[in-house]
């Protein structure tokens, strides 16, 4: 909880929300250490106002202050940034589509927009630099311009990269569910029943759960909800790190 959250809570409980209902600091029952912090931060951006030796809180300033705190929360920023499309999704889907047939940048964009029900349309500033990068790395090649349209197709190197480096393989990987996953639908899956979700391999359930959670938490949820999610993710990360450490092979 932000230090000022407790101050705001007490001020509101005491009804100190205007000059007429302002109180002396000792009447709030807060520590003198907190008073020192509050006094040092008094100003137009602070919801706490001191007048004639008494204190009250401005509800209007408090709302603006809470909004700034929510926006500054690194967990919230991460959730908002990744809510719609997981990192690496565009490259994955472009390679997958080009594996099926040669396509132009505009055709790739239209196809992705169509399959996501219009919920995501890659911007030219993302699509064309990616195509240029794939071409430079030798993963794609340009076909002859036809009717003014420049199309790309995967090279053999690109196909190998897609199958081995991105999709992965192996019996154990497949059993655990770490193999090929329909990423083109993953960010937007909805409407699955509980039974359908439970039938997915554990890693896919985790990914799907995180995607759903990101979409929900990227909205304007309460600080309490954000803290609950952050605590859960810290515990989850800790358990994953323990397994990584346990099963990591020592460096040669």
Does some domain include residue 250?
no
> For residues 114 and 121, what is the distance between their CA atoms, to the nearest angstrom?
9
Range of the domain at 66: 3-72
Burial 152-191, CB ≥16 within 10 A → b, else e = bbbbeebeebbeeeebeeeeeeeeebbbebebbebbeeee
Does some domain include residue 98?
yes
Would you mind telling me the total number of residues written for the chain in this entry?
Answer: 252
The full DSSP string for 195-247 is: HHHHTS-HHHHHHHHHHHHHHHHTSS--HHHHHHHHHHHHHHHHHHHHHHHHH
111 and 201 part of one domain: yes
129 and 215 part of one domain: yes
Average pLDDT, integer, range 187-206: 62
Q: What percent of the chain has pLDDT over 90?
A: 23
Here the CATH number for the domain that contains residue 12 is: 1.10.10
Q: Provide the pLDDT confidence category of residue 185 given band limits of 50, 70 and 90.
A: very low
**How many angstroms from the chain centroid is the CA of residue 32?**
39
227 and 107 part of one domain: yes
Does some domain include residue 120?
yes
Q: Provide the pLDDT confidence category of residue 61 given band limits of 50, 70 and 90.
A: confident
21 and 138 part of one domain: no
Domain ends where: 14, 37, 72? Answer: 72
Here the CATH number for the domain that contains residue 175 is: 1.10.10.10
> For residues 236 and 233, what is the distance between their CA atoms, to the nearest angstrom?
5
Does some domain include residue 206?
yes
What's residue 218's pLDDT? 59
68 and 95 part of one domain: no
Does some domain include residue 20?
yes
> For residues 41 and 49, what is the distance between their CA atoms, to the nearest angstrom?
10
Q: What is the mean pLDDT of the chain?
A: 76
148 and 95 part of one domain: yes
109 and 46 part of one domain: no
Does some domain include residue 183?
yes
126 and 48 part of one domain: no
What's residue 73's pLDDT? 55
What's residue 151's pLDDT? 93
Residue 99 has pLDDT above 60, yes or no: yes
What's residue 15's pLDDT? 92
Q: Provide the pLDDT confidence category of residue 229 given band limits of 50, 70 and 90.
A: confident
> For residues 96 and 115, what is the distance between their CA atoms, to the nearest angstrom?
13
Give strand pairing partners of 103.
152
What's residue 184's pLDDT? 41
> For residues 29 and 126, what is the distance between their CA atoms, to the nearest angstrom?
54
Residue 79 has pLDDT above 80, yes or no: no
141 and 219 part of one domain: yes
- Number of domains making up the chain: 2
Question: Can you read off the two tokens belonging to residue 48?
Answer: 């706490």
203 and 94 part of one domain: yes
154 and 192 part of one domain: yes
Q: What percent of the chain has pLDDT over 70?
A: 68
Question: Can you read off the two tokens belonging to residue 147?
Answer: 């009717």
Does some domain include residue 197?
yes
Does some domain include residue 240?
no
Question: Can you read off the two tokens belonging to residue 7?
Answer: 């101050």
66 and 184 part of one domain: no
- CA torsion, ordered 77, 83, 86, 89, to nearest 10 deg: -130
Q: What angle do CA 186, 192, 198 make, to 5 degrees?
A: 90
The more confident residue out of 32 and 219 is 32
């Amino acid at each position: 909880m932000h230090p000022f959250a407790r101050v705001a809570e007490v001020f509101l409980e005491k009804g100190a929300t205007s000059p007429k209902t302002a109180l002396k600091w000792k009447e709030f029952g807060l520590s003198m250490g907190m008073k020192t912090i509050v006094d040092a931060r008094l100003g137009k951006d602070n919801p706490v106002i001191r007048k004639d030796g008494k204190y009250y809180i401005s509800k209007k300033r408090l709302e603006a202050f809470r909004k700034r705190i929510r926006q500054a929360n690194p967990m919230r920023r991460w959730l908002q940034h990744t809510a719609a499309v997981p990192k690496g999704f565009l490259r994955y889907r472009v390679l997958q589509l080009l594996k099926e047939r040669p396509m132009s940048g505009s055709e790739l964009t239209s196809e992705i927009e169509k399959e996501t029900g219009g919920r995501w349309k890659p911007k030219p500033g993302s699509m064309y630099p990616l195509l240029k990068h794939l071409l430079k790395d030798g993963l794609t090649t340009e076909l002859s311009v036809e009717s003014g349209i420049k199309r790309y197709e995967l090279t053999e190197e690109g196909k190998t990269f897609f199958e081995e480096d991105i999709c992965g393989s192996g019996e154990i990987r497949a059993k655990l569910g770490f193999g090929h996953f329909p990423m083109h639908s993953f960010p937007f899956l909805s409407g699955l029943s509980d039974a359908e979700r439970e039938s997915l391999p554990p890693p896919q359930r985790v990914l799907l759960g995180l995607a759903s959670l990101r979409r929900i938490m990227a909205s304007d949820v309460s600080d309490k909800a954000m803290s609950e999610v952050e605590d859960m993710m810290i515990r989850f990360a800790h358990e994953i790190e323990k397994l990584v450490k346990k099963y990591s092979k020592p460096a040669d």
